[in-house]
Structure 1
Amino acid sequence: MSDLISKRSSFRILMFPWFAVGHLTPFLHLSNKLAEKGCTISFLLPNKAIKLLQHFNLYPDHITFHPVKVPHVEGLPLGTETASDIPIHLTHFLCVAMDRTRDQVEKIIRDQKPDFVMYDMAYWIPEVARPLGIKTIKYSVVSAAAIAIVLVPARNVVEGKAITAAELSVPPTGYPSTSVVLRGHEVRSLLFVSQPYGEGTTFYERACTGMKGCDAIAIRSCYEMEEKLCDYIGRQYGKPVFLTGPVLPESARTPLEDRWAQWLNRFEAGSVVFCSFGSQLILEKEQLQELVLGFESTGLPFLVVLKPPVGSSTIEEALPEGFEERVKGRGVVWGGWVQQLEILDHPSIGCFVNTCGFGSMWESLMSDCQIVLVPHLGDQILNTRLMAEELKVAVEVERDEKGWFTKENLSNAIKCVMDKDSEVGSMIKKNHTEWRKLLRSEGFMSSYFDKFFQNMQELVDHK
């Protein structure tokens, strides 16, 4: 291996992630690790996103942000550049806009002639790179579980035919898990896979074409958690599957804002419940009110971070009558951005309530908090099954057939994990502690990345 490393110790890499913070951020974390190896990276992203990500660029001498002009598409609000700018149901139009950047991206690739292009949603990248002799890696920032149950050829989605809930509720041929599955109403959250996602393509076709065309599939996961699912994906696509490991900053990089540090410092260690539902999820007003009333009824201090609900311009105007007065001093509902990693690092935080998006899933595991999960979208549900049923490190809030939950169910789940005498709480804390020790153990993450880098070297040397 030493000869190989000396022969190709660094690469020129072009990154082109999907225009959503949950994709841009892990691509940049991966870029930082590659920059540590001496690689030079051109990171293509919308202008608006550059401001959001600048503080995550730890190697500006190696990582250059290259702005991509996002064209206006009918159906999108003027000025839309990222998924955070729009509700989820408009994502199709943002896909159209991303695909229309192809000429810009192709020119950059031809001018720079990188060794690799790494992408996720831009399924046409291999068509551009292959004639130039450039290797391509489809980098998945969702779990292997989410890919394996839906985005595999064995799913047999017929071109031009919408997949039904009944079809989706049956695992594809050879699917290796009995617990990371969809149940009942949950299949509805994944019916979008056969809906338009860009001009002339569905989400399923976009994802599968991207994986069929690449030279290798990379997944932000580890074998300890998803070995059978990763192997299944490799067999389905006949491609090498490279695992990067979690690729997360090992600790908070910046001090917590005084506003939150001072507020959290008032409470005992491990007593505060922190809830964050990410940058895209927008609740109905009734759902938001049920959620915050659930936090109120726990009797515990809490910090809840949510976007204003449908029809409201601020979070405050949507809160239940008298709520702010009743929780004054122990509860805050915030409608803006916060430093999630830094808040999770604060000793007062004892429980993290989240939707189990893949980024939050890893951050949950790396934290010292109890974990309560409220998934909304398909991949979040599958991530939740992995956490709650396979790893047994979290509790999922019970929901009704419509997919929502009561304030009582939320409150009960939180109190279950926060009660020192709870058997369930003790069990998941013990399991979580073991996983956290593994993930934070010396050499665990670096060994995954070293192997990933070696895989890249072997791929570029294989003509």
Structure 2
Amino acid sequence: MSKSDCSKLHIAMFPWFAFGHFIPYIHLSNKLAQKGHKVSFLMPKGIQPKLEHLNQYPHLIRFFPLVLSHVDGLPPGAESTSNVPLELQKYLAIALDQTRDQVEAVLKVTKPDMVFCDFGHWIPALARQIGIKSIWYVVVSSMSCGLISRKIAKEMSVDELLQLPPGYPSSKVRIKAEEVAALLFRAEDFGIGLSFQDRITTGVKESDAIAFRTYREIEGPFCDYVAQRFGKSVLLSGPCLPETQTQQLEDKWANWLNKFEPSSVVFCSFGSQSMLEKDEFQELLLGFELSGLPFLVALKPPQGCLTIEEALPEGFQERVRGRGLVHGGWVPQELLLRHPSIGCFVNHCGYGTMWEFLFSDCQIVLIPEIPDQILNTRLMVEELRIAVEVERGKNRQIPKESLSKAIKLVMDKDNEMASLLKRNHAKLKQLLSNRDLQEEYINNFIRDLQNLLK
């Protein structure tokens, strides 16, 4: 083995200011540090204490806090998307861009071999200027990256917006006519003088390579398409999920779930970014009630409500007492999915959540909201055939009857479709759960990074 093959890497990480980006980047950092590689991790100052507990190798992973300057329009003290609504996140992008001098100073002092980023479109040019490589490490799906390669404009018709870029490998993993409004976000300003799609495509085109946190077994054709479309090497790290086998579910959850039969409870979680209107929130809860099955729902209080209690439908608590639990705070989603009583998981199909449920034994019911989630959902429902998508009503609302129908379908042990979904999911889980698979991917990923330096 040549010296470069066994040499240890030093990698800088600069993700978008969102926990859905920080966390996958820290998971990858842990996988790299486990192999003896060094990481310099850049993030806003106030975020560091919230990530410290995830750093499994503090002797190899060093945090570099950045001070965000004030941007008019950004809520005071905001350092991540957690407390910035979507319509104001363009100001957070400006704050990210204004850290350029600090980022440059850190890179010049630490002298890494390469820098990973996914939102700082100026990073690849800066890296070239310093004499290091840049990797555009994408934390969403390769389908999203493939579709963003076709530029859209606000004045396009529905038919124009629905057109797939040439050579795109699926006619099923796509946005439908009633969902195109969500696509127009790409054409909105996201920073000073550039749109969201310009930010991403500039970064992708300027970088030395593109990387995804996936397996070929799930997204192979889409990864190949991105490589061909952008004329870049595509590297795959695998999902890099942390080992959680030793962690135990808290008694308060375990004791409640243990009252129910195996695979009988419906669990619902939409993640921290989801914010429902009160009527949507109530309709969802009525859908769970209508299913007649025990349920555990973890949702933030809807807009205009401070607590879950004030948002509940009238008489709901009394009607579902003993079989329904609604929780307004954080829940240990991955541990809950492993509890034997959980039989169905209702979620938005965010990319991180998708990987968690792929490794579970649950039946899957999906309610996607934003384009990334919609594409993930179509992959799960149409191509892999392991899940169902809830049918929306007028104005893309979720009627309680549609939710109840989807839950009852997948939970019916005698239903042919439910059995097919379960078999497909079990086969995929068996393939993905091979302990050597992630190891093989991360070793190949590191080798590909080392080859970039030759």
Please give the TM-score of this superposition, normalised by the length of structure 1.
Answer: 0.95
Deviation at residue 419 of structure 1 after TM alignment: 1.2
Correspondence for 2:99: 101
3-state SS of 2:2 partner: helix
Q: 1:407-461 CA distances to partner (integer Å, 9 max, x unpaired)?
A: 1100111111111111111110000000100110131111111111110010011
Q: State which of 59, 62, 70 in structure 2 corresponds to 1:61.
A: 59
Q: Is 1:338 matched with 2:335?
A: no
Greater Cα shift, 374-383 or 163-172 = 163-172
Partner amino acid, structure 2, of 1:196: D
Deviation at residue 394 of structure 1 after TM alignment: 0.5
Determine if contact 1:136/1:216 at 8 Å carries over to the other structure: yes
| Shift in CA distance, 53/269, structure 1 to aligned 2, threshold 3 Å | farther
Determine if contact 2:114/2:132 at 8 Å carries over to the other structure: yes
CA distance in 1, matches of 2:103, 2:156: 32
Deviation at residue 51 of structure 1 after TM alignment: 3.3
Determine if contact 1:72/1:80 at 8 Å carries over to the other structure: no
| Shift in CA distance, 442/255, structure 1 to aligned 2, threshold 3 Å | closer
Deviation at residue 163 of structure 1 after TM alignment: 4.9
Q: 1:258-308 CA distances to partner (integer Å, 9 max, x unpaired)?
A: 221222222222111111111111011111111111111112111111122
Correspondence for 2:143: 145
Correspondence for 1:437: 430
Q: State which of 348, 353, 366 in structure 1 corresponds to 2:346.
A: 353
| Shift in CA distance, 295/33, structure 1 to aligned 2, threshold 3 Å | same
CA distance in 1, matches of 2:320, 2:38: 50
CA-atom RMSD in angstroms: 1.5
Correspondence for 2:240: 247
Determine if contact 1:136/1:215 at 8 Å carries over to the other structure: yes
Deviation at residue 24 of structure 1 after TM alignment: 0.9
Greater Cα shift, 449-458 or 243-252 = 243-252
Determine if contact 1:162/1:195 at 8 Å carries over to the other structure: no
Residues 161-200 of structure 1 correspond to what in structure 2 (within 5 A)?
A: 163-200=156-193
CA distance in 2, matches of 1:339, 1:164: 43
Q: State which of 22, 42, 45 in structure 2 corresponds to 1:44.
A: 42
Correspondence for 1:24: 22
**Structure 1 segments unaligned to the other structure (5+ residues):** none
Correspondence for 2:391: 398
3-state SS of 2:428 partner: helix
Please give the TM-score of this superposition, normalised by the length of structure 2.
Answer: 0.96
Q: State which of 369, 375, 386 in structure 2 corresponds to 1:382.
A: 375
- The number of residue pairs the alignment matches comes to 454
CA distance in 1, matches of 2:164, 2:364: 27
Correspondence for 1:302: 295
CA distance in 2, matches of 1:109, 1:365: 37
Deviation at residue 398 of structure 1 after TM alignment: 0.6
Deviation at residue 232 of structure 1 after TM alignment: 1.2
Q: Is 1:88 matched with 2:81?
A: no
CA distance in 2, matches of 1:71, 1:316: 38
CA distance in 1, matches of 2:337, 2:48: 25
CA distance in 2, matches of 1:369, 1:49: 33
CA distance in 1, matches of 2:271, 2:32: 26
CA distance in 2, matches of 1:121, 1:273: 36
Q: State which of 439, 442, 447 in structure 2 corresponds to 1:449.
A: 442
Determine if contact 2:387/2:421 at 8 Å carries over to the other structure: yes
CA distance in 1, matches of 2:299, 2:217: 32
CA distance in 1, matches of 2:453, 2:249: 42
3-state SS of 1:443 partner: helix
3-state SS of 1:402 partner: helix
Identity of aligned residues (%): 52
CA distance in 1, matches of 2:123, 2:364: 38
Q: State which of 107, 110, 120 in structure 1 corresponds to 2:108.
A: 110
Deviation at residue 401 of structure 1 after TM alignment: 4.8
Deviation at residue 377 of structure 1 after TM alignment: 0.3
Determine if contact 1:252/1:341 at 8 Å carries over to the other structure: no
CA distance in 1, matches of 2:362, 2:274: 23
Partner amino acid, structure 2, of 1:383: N
Q: State which of 402, 410, 418 in structure 2 corresponds to 1:425.
A: 418
CA distance in 1, matches of 2:245, 2:114: 30
| Shift in CA distance, 171/225, structure 1 to aligned 2, threshold 3 Å | same
**Structure 2 segments unaligned to the other structure (5+ residues):** none
CA distance in 2, matches of 1:312, 1:77: 20
Correspondence for 1:281: 274
Correspondence for 2:2: 3
Q: 1:64-99 CA distances to partner (integer Å, 9 max, x unpaired)?
A: 222222223211221211111122222111111111
Correspondence for 2:130: 132
Q: 1:360-403 CA distances to partner (integer Å, 9 max, x unpaired)?
A: 11111011111110000001001000000000010110112522
CA distance in 2, matches of 1:229, 1:138: 16
Partner amino acid, structure 2, of 1:193: R
CA distance in 2, matches of 1:254, 1:76: 38
Q: Is 1:261 matched with 2:254?
A: yes
CA distance in 2, matches of 1:86, 1:196: 16
